[in-house]
Chains A and B, each alone.
Chain A
Amino acid sequence: MTAETLPKTRLYLLPLGIFFALVVLLGVGLTLDPREVPSPLIGKPAPHFELPQLHDPAKTFSEQDMRGKVWLLNVWASWCVSCRAEHPVLLELAKSNAVSIYGLNYKDQRKDGVAWLQSLGNPYQISAFDLNGRVGIDYGVYGVPETYVIDKRGVIRYKQIGPVTSEILKEKILPLVNELNRG
Chain B
Amino acid sequence: MNSIVAKVFALMLMLFAGSAAFGKEAAPAAEDPALEQRMAALTSELRCLVCQNQTIADSNAGLAVDLKNEVREKMKQGMSDREIIDFMVTRYGDFVLYRPPFKATTLFLWLGPLLLLAAGLLTLLFRLKRGRGAAETGLSEDEHARAAKLLAAGTETEKQ
**Smallest CB-CB separation from B64: which chain A residue?**
A142
Chain A interface residue count, CB cutoff 8 Å, equals 17
Determine if A40 and B90 form an interchain contact, defined as CB atoms under 8 angstroms apart: yes
Contacting residues, chain B, for A137 (C-beta < 8 A):
66-67, 70, 91
Query: With an 8 A cutoff between CB atoms, is B50 at the interface?
Result: yes
Tell me the minimal C-beta distance from B69 to chain A in angstroms.
9
Determine if A34 and B91 form an interchain contact, defined as CB atoms under 8 angstroms apart: no
**Smallest CB-CB separation from A39: which chain B residue?**
B93
Determine if A142 and B50 form an interchain contact, defined as CB atoms under 8 angstroms apart: yes
Determine if A140 and B50 form an interchain contact, defined as CB atoms under 8 angstroms apart: no
Chain B binding site: helix, strand, loop or mixed by DSSP?
Answer: helix
Query: With an 8 A cutoff between CB atoms, is B106 at the interface?
Result: no
Tell me the minimal C-beta distance from B124 to chain A in angstroms.
16
Determine if B95 and A41 form an interchain contact, defined as CB atoms under 8 angstroms apart: no
Interface 1/0 per residue, A112-143 and B, CB below 8 Å: 00000000000000000000110001111111
Asked whether A40 and B66 contact (CB < 8 A) given A34-B52, A142-B50, the answer is no
Determine if B49 and A142 form an interchain contact, defined as CB atoms under 8 angstroms apart: yes
Tell me the minimal C-beta distance from B91 to chain A in angstroms.
4
Contacting A at CB under 8 A, from B77-94, are 89-94
**Smallest CB-CB separation from B91: which chain A residue?**
A140
Determine if A37 and B91 form an interchain contact, defined as CB atoms under 8 angstroms apart: no
Contacting residues, chain A, for B95 (C-beta < 8 A):
37-38
Given contacts A37-B93, A138-B91, A141-B63, 6 further A-B contacts (CB under 8 A): A37-B92, A133-B63, A137-B66, A137-B91, A142-B49, A143-B49
B residues near A, CB below 8 A?
A: 49-50, 52, 62-63, 66-67, 70, 89-95
Report the 3 A-B pairs with minimum CB-CB distance, sorted nearest first.
A142-B49, A140-B91, A40-B93
A residues near B, CB below 8 A?
A: 34-35, 37-41, 107, 132-133, 137-143
A to B CB contacts below 8 Å, 11 in the list: A34-B52, A35-B52, A37-B95, A38-B93, A40-B91, A40-B94, A41-B90, A137-B67, A140-B92, A142-B63, A143-B50
